[in-house]
Structure 1
Amino acid sequence: MSLLDVRDLAVSYDGRRAVEGISFTVDPGEVVALVGESGSGKSTTAHAVIGLLPGNATVDRGRILLGDADLATWSARRMEALRGAQIGLVPQDPANSLNPVKTIGAQVGEVMRIHGRGDRREIRRQVVELLTRVGLPDPETRARQYPHELSGGMRQRVLIAIAIALRPRLVIADEPTSALDATVQRRILDLVDDLRAEFGTAVLLVTHDLGVAASRSDRLVVMRAGRVEEQGPTAAVLAAPEAAYTAKLLRDAPALSVREYREAEPAPREPAIVLHDLVKEFRLGRRPFRAVDRVSFEVPRGTTHALVGESGSGKTTTARMVVRFTEPTSGTVTIPGAGEGRRSRRHVQLVHQNPYGSLDPRQSVAEIVAEPLRNFRLGDRAARAARVAELLDRVALPRDLAGRRPRELSGGQRQRVAIARALAVEPGVLVLDEAVSALDVTVQAQILDLLEQLQRDLGLTYLFISHDLAVVRQISHTVSVMSEGRIVESGTTRQVFTEPGDPYTRELLATIPEPVR
């Protein structure tokens, strides 16, 4: 008998159908992955199972069977008694899922207090035991700390501790690693596997990361536009997908697709970016903190160089010095042909990570794309309008989007607008800081293809900042691996990925998911 049996589930928001008649099961101890793009209905399905749909959502029909109980008919009050005890939830964002004014110990202990699992002393003991179990160092100290004092990976471990505190039969993990670095992501997923093996807990894994789903699940449920496109054993679906949509998702997933390494042309090229002994220190109290420590590399014109490493490795600080958002403590950044002052800023443009936060919500698409032209006083109004139309064509956006606001666009469309804005003043160098990490796999593939096409057409040079090794393998010609502010390894992408010389590089490469067999 299945632990969870979802039958013909349909959910609407304000009368608009978001999930249309889906069915699947989860057996005891099994990991079932719900995969699909944003808007596919996977998170809505998970929230329906645990009874956490927003107020404007309704379950229109269907059954949600946990054993013999049909949760679709339960009241909100009755569901409160179930959550934590029978079903645990690991939410997506560790930064926003913990109460900033409560200690870690208080938040882990809360679920035990709600369900009457011991007195204050016993709960305190269980909290320390849970924090130990999820691998937090010095758990007694962590219990007294607040969320802002912990790293993202530590906060996610706290959320897992809360989810398993009462040893529920089912844990729903909703994009549990999407905001984490590759090595931290792997440790978190290993932890979930270990706990599942120890307790026999079933896991419903909600993710848009096909690599994670392929390597961590027993069965896949592929969703699209609120419906199930395909489901079955993970290995079977990966080997022979029946639905064309599934096949496309698998082709677009960088961790699963087999692609040739990008090779720069053998003829020597002049450098477009030259960093020499770059150092950046920040004052923390009396002692300086060295975020970037004697970093040197060159990027040949018309190629893509990737900076990879975990959070805190110094890659984003290095990028900020390249675009002159911050000045180095010592060392030099040279952009041949960029000139000085405002002219240099025109030559080097930045594409931010988050297409939702990098665009002014008050401006239209046309105003956003034209803004650099106005700032550099390039052309009159008619010339700027013509340039905007040309740029929208260049990034494959319909011209009729010009009058819309960012909120009216999809994530992929917003990132295309950000790229069009960066191209407006005809730069030679683009710095792309995690520019595709917030995008679904299919949209991500489209943006990466666009970047390659623009590089071929315009001769652009890219400095590509990323923690996603699978994406880096696909797009870059050369790579520098950073750790604790230093470059530990550099070379062509093929060299670094196939013959890594540094143990840290090997550890990073080991995080690229491998499909289950």
Structure 2
Amino acid sequence: MSLLEVRDLTVSYTRRGRWGGVHARPAVHGVSFAVEPGEVVAVVGESGSGKTTTAQAVIGLLPPNGRLDGGQILLGGTDIAGWSQRRLQTVRGAQIGLVPQDPANSLNPVKPVGVQIGEALRLHRRGDRRTIAHRVVELLERVGLPDPEVRARQYPHELSGGMRQRVLIAIAVALEPRLIIADEPTSALDVTVQRRILDLIDDLRAESGTAVLLVTHDLGVAMDRSDRLVVMKDGRIEERGATRAVLGAPQAAYTARLLRDAPALRAPEFLSVGTARTTAGATAGTAAEEASREPAVVVRDLVKEYRAGGRPFRAVDGVSFEVPRGTTHALVGESGSGKTTTARMVMRLAEPTSGSVAIGGVETAGVRGARLRALRRDVQLVYQNPYGSLDPRQSVADIVEEPLRNFGLGDRAGRRERVRDLLDRVALPAAVLGRRPRELSGGQRQRVAIARALAPGPKVVVLDEAVSALDVSVQAQILDLLGELQRDLGLTYLFISHDLAVVRQVSHTVSVMSKGRIVETGTTRRLFENPGHAYTRALLAAVPGTAHQLAGQEVGR
């Protein structure tokens, strides 16, 4: 008997129409799969594929407008699909544990983490106060948190992202459930932290025989960590089977496309300095090749110092690099490595404690007034989260036009024409001009953000984790777009990322940062094929899905 068997699951969401009345939108259509004791089944697909809705239905945590329309959810042979929320409380935690995606929003900010772990034990009456306190410390130690007695008294904001995710795992395993549902448990984490979290889940599974339903859009993670794979698209299962069999020889065109678009699973390709990537993924010489003889960005001995507890703390410590014009230079490293602080100083959004930055041969230190406005026009920024960086009250037309108004470029008619040209360049239809950001997909919003950055005609574009929040297919489209824009416009990119698989695909040169310093720099090919520093080797080893490439194999080809 399967531990979990889902049969013909159908789920819809209801919404109130503009003119009244309630409309149901199907989200999951007749989905069936099983999870055996002790195995990991990965459910993969793009946003909107229905994978998270399926997981939420299994544990009875659909949002208020979600409705389970049909099918069975058999847990150990018992159908729990029709159970009330009160009855499901006896299952959650005790038989099914949940590790949600975002620890920042999943933990109560006003309660110590030890109290939150203990709540599950108290609800299920697993001992008196002293026993529960002892068990909380034991759980924190089990998930690898140092000084567990101290951590139990701390609040979520006092812990790093990786530590908070470990707390969520401690909550999920507190009652030793037979099944853990892990919904994108590492998507917001750096590769080394991601690897430690996934290793932890594997260790806990090996110790207790717990099965895992892993929901992810990362095929590299699915390849490394799952026994079987369920591929979903538009609420339906496209393909299923043993993970190696599905990814080694995909039968569905959709699975094959996901594989082609996954940076970690693509064949290694490296750009040479002075070339720009075409949309087909090859390299081609352009006008940028001639211009690459001189640097567009020069950073020398950059230092940023803060005061922490009355003592100086160096977030950036003596950083130096150059970016040849028309090329892409990547800054990579874990959270806290100093890469984003460095980028902010390049843009003059933060003042360096010492050191220098030159854009196009012009030193930026002390620049004021008209010269500072010219610098702002020459260097533009694309943020990680397009939804957070776009004004929800503005239309797309107003968002893209805003830099033109701010810099006094053109009259109203000319600006509107420029906006239409920019949307066409980033492959957005004119129909989106009047829409608000909430009416667009994540990929469309990021295209709007790129169009806005291009509006004043910059020479340098800083991309701060600009594709890390996107699904692999949308991510591939945005990366191809960036390559095309670089080829056509001779743009220079400073690419900030913790995703080395993406960096390998798009950058010409790389600087690896750790604890505020650059530990290694060079061409992308050299760093990936012959890393010289132990930290770089550790980062590369932690990239999910790359084991097959290290062994000289290629998936799905």
**TM-score interval, smaller chain:** over 0.9
Partner in structure 2 of residue 258 of structure 1: 267
Q: Determine if the alignment matches structure 1 residue 329 to structure 2 residue 360.
A: no
Tell me how far apart the structure 2 counterparts of residues 247 and 341 of structure 1 sit (CA, whole Å): 48
1:286 offset after TM fit, Å?
1.7
Number of matched residues?
517
1:155 offset after TM fit, Å?
0.5
Partner in structure 2 of residue 58 of structure 1: 67
Tell me how far apart the structure 2 counterparts of residues 418 and 6 of structure 1 sit (CA, whole Å): 40
Q: Determine if the alignment matches structure 1 residue 172 to structure 2 residue 196.
A: no
In angstroms, what is the RMSD of aligned CA positions? 1.1
Runs of 4+ in structure 1 displaced over 2 angstroms?
265-268, 337-340, 514-517
Query: Where do 1:66-465 residues align within 5 Å?
Result: 66-265=75-274, 269-336=293-360, 340-465=371-496
Tell me how far apart the structure 1 counterparts of residues 246 and 77 of structure 2 sit (CA, whole Å): 30
Amino acid at match of 1:439: L
Tell me how far apart the structure 2 counterparts of residues 387 and 67 of structure 1 sit (CA, whole Å): 61
C-alpha contact (below 8 Å) 1:214/1:515 kept by paired residues: no
CA deviation profile, 1:137-184 (whole Å, cap 9, x unmatched): 000000111111110000000000000011100000000001111110
Amino acid at match of 2:354: S
SS of 2:493's equivalent in the other structure is strand
Partner in structure 1 of residue 44 of structure 2: 35
C-alpha contact (below 8 Å) 1:41/1:224 kept by paired residues: yes
C-alpha contact (below 8 Å) 2:100/2:168 kept by paired residues: yes
SS of 1:176's equivalent in the other structure is coil
C-alpha contact (below 8 Å) 2:2/2:77 kept by paired residues: no
C-alpha contact (below 8 Å) 2:228/2:240 kept by paired residues: yes
CA deviation profile, 1:400-456 (whole Å, cap 9, x unmatched): 111111111000000000000000011010000000000011000000000000000
1:101 offset after TM fit, Å?
1.0
C-alpha contact (below 8 Å) 1:348/1:427 kept by paired residues: yes
SS of 1:510's equivalent in the other structure is helix
Tell me how far apart the structure 2 counterparts of residues 151 and 159 of structure 1 sit (CA, whole Å): 13
TM-score, normalised via structure 2 length:
0.92
| Structure 1: runs of 5+ lacking an equivalent | none
Tell me how far apart the structure 1 counterparts of residues 361 and 520 of structure 2 sit (CA, whole Å): 28
C-alpha contact (below 8 Å) 1:90/1:174 kept by paired residues: yes
Tell me how far apart the structure 2 counterparts of residues 20 and 514 of structure 1 sit (CA, whole Å): 30
Amino acid at match of 1:317: T
Tell me how far apart the structure 2 counterparts of residues 227 and 410 of structure 1 sit (CA, whole Å): 20
1:259 offset after TM fit, Å?
3.7
Match for 2:30 among 21, 27, 39? 21
C-alpha contact (below 8 Å) 1:175/1:205 kept by paired residues: yes
SS of 1:117's equivalent in the other structure is coil
Tell me how far apart the structure 1 counterparts of residues 412 and 431 of structure 2 sit (CA, whole Å): 18
| Structure 2: runs of 5+ lacking an equivalent | 15-23, 275-288, 365-370, 549-557
Tell me how far apart the structure 1 counterparts of residues 428 and 486 of structure 2 sit (CA, whole Å): 18
C-alpha contact (below 8 Å) 2:3/2:77 kept by paired residues: no
TM-score, normalised via structure 1 length:
0.99
Tell me how far apart the structure 1 counterparts of residues 376 and 113 of structure 2 sit (CA, whole Å): 44
Identity %: 76
Partner in structure 1 of residue 280 of structure 2: none
Q: Determine if the alignment matches structure 1 residue 482 to structure 2 residue 518.
A: no
1:514 offset after TM fit, Å?
2.7
CA deviation profile, 1:462-498 (whole Å, cap 9, x unmatched): 0000000100000000000000000000000011111
1:47 offset after TM fit, Å?
0.5
C-alpha contact (below 8 Å) 1:216/1:516 kept by paired residues: no
1:200 offset after TM fit, Å?
0.3
Tell me how far apart the structure 2 counterparts of residues 413 and 496 of structure 1 sit (CA, whole Å): 33
Tell me how far apart the structure 2 counterparts of residues 180 and 369 of structure 1 sit (CA, whole Å): 31
